[in-house]
Structure 1
Amino acid sequence: MDWILYNGDLIKEDELKLSREDRAYQFGDGIYEVIRIYGGDFFTAEEHIDRFYESAEKIRMVFPYTKDVFHKMLHELVERNEVTDGQVYVQVSRGASMRQHHFPELAEPVLVASTKPLSRPVEWMKAGVKAKLIEDVRWLRCDIKSLNLLGNVLAKQEAHEAGCFEAILHRGDVVTEGSSSNMFGIKGGILYTHPATNLILNGITRRVIMQICKDLDIELQETAFTVDQALAMDEFFMCSTTAEILPVIQIDDTVIGNGKPGKVTNRLIEAFEARIGVSVNA
């Protein structure tokens, strides 16, 4: 049975007991992060932890640990569970208190973190995936990695029922992001992605890709594009912590490019793999 990090202590999974009055359960009043592990080491842990604290600040939550202490606790959790390739899921709620909408005065944040093994989506990288266009009806603070994910869940379910891997969300004509990913289109060798505003989550893998583009001298524009422009892209891909970089070869009924992962996308995948020290062909 795995170990879980609970308010600074490592406990067995069956020992975890959460209050029915926890605001995560009643209001989704909390934040979360998912950090990838390759070869027993965290990938971009500092960036994830920084974003975790930024989200806490945006919802006016005081997290009771310094970043260094928090990082050390997560590292000890991974070591205790002997995770080689996997992920850490961590969330913190505002705490447990008698149900009321405004912030409780005496509640203390409740931290829970767990690990699980996770394989890389190599076959999808090679073959590409399909996506479905769905209207983005979420709230207007998508930059906060909060526990309020019902809009994302409904979009993902609709895509799943249509036989698609992911939902491509759009507000009116403008593509924003995926239900659990960021979106990139490639036209004429130039990458396009929605700017990091309140309408999207500024993904950590998204940021890594932007760094890779600078290293490879690939032009990237943080410019919003329309649904019609998305369908006319030469290449298209999605990215996230767990999916890494996945080519999107079909959107609804429209085949993107020649229906296969494109050259620029594959080049980015290779560069990403060099950073994590593995290969899609391994």
Structure 2
Amino acid sequence: MTNTPADAAARRAVAPVICYPNDTLRLPPMEQYRAARATAQATAQTRIPPREARCFHVTAGSFFRISCPEGAQVGDLNLFAARNLEERFFSGKTRALYGSHVGVGNRLWSCLPYLRPMATITADSLAWYGQDEYGGRVHDVIGTRCDPYTHHLLSGQDYHNTCHSNLTRALAEEMRLPLAEAEAHIHDVLNVFMCTGFTRDTGQYFMKASPARAGDYIEFFAEIDLLGVLSACPGGDCGSEHSSDAATCHPLDVTVYAPKAGQLDGWYAPSNNRYSRRHAPE
């Protein structure tokens, strides 16, 4: 134990400063996206079975919707540039720019050195949820994904249907890679439909039953050509545990929509970050 200093209250009272003010970010053209989506046609659908993962492809300038066709179900989403697995979703920077949870108008950013928007959230049927009395919100970029290593650390048991393993198997099959090589590309996720926060007393990451119901969805605009990998979490709605054969689980659907010609005139895919990469002063 250490003694509390005399100026403890003054130190705690120092006002916080936002680390990455985002008011200089180029805003997505949401009105143009909404107009394009209004007449877009479904072109592909992928069903993700419970406790499994599947890959899907989205062309830049298209929309994709993740939905719950049968009931509340959390999904763990990885995104890659379609032709470059080294460029992947950067949950940490997305979190630093927008906060612990994301919503309509927020963008999913790719990792360094690319650091460009991969997708923009354009619609969310759970936008009404906001923040509950526990500090819970929906669609987090906090959690890393359930994985067999942490499961073994805490229980001493092997469990192979964690989201990490699901994503690994799906990517390996899609890209025809050995499991070990595919695993190296799996990264921290967007936890779609998951309701999470931090406890006020210990600051621990918590989850609670997802407020999603059959028919709920979140929708994105693909800013670049994407390869997505989505796992239907073995925790179902994650109301009790997230690595389980006992939880009630449901499938997820991914539906891709292509806008009509001319709806995106003037829009262009973002280029890679323009930092010089010299990493040294002149």
The verdict on a shared fold, with TM-score over 0.5 as the criterion, is: no
TM-score tier (shorter): under 0.3
Structure 1 length-normalised TM: 0.25
**Whose helix proportion is higher, 1 or 2?**
1
Higher normalized contact order (CA 8 Å, seq sep 6+, divided by chain length): 2
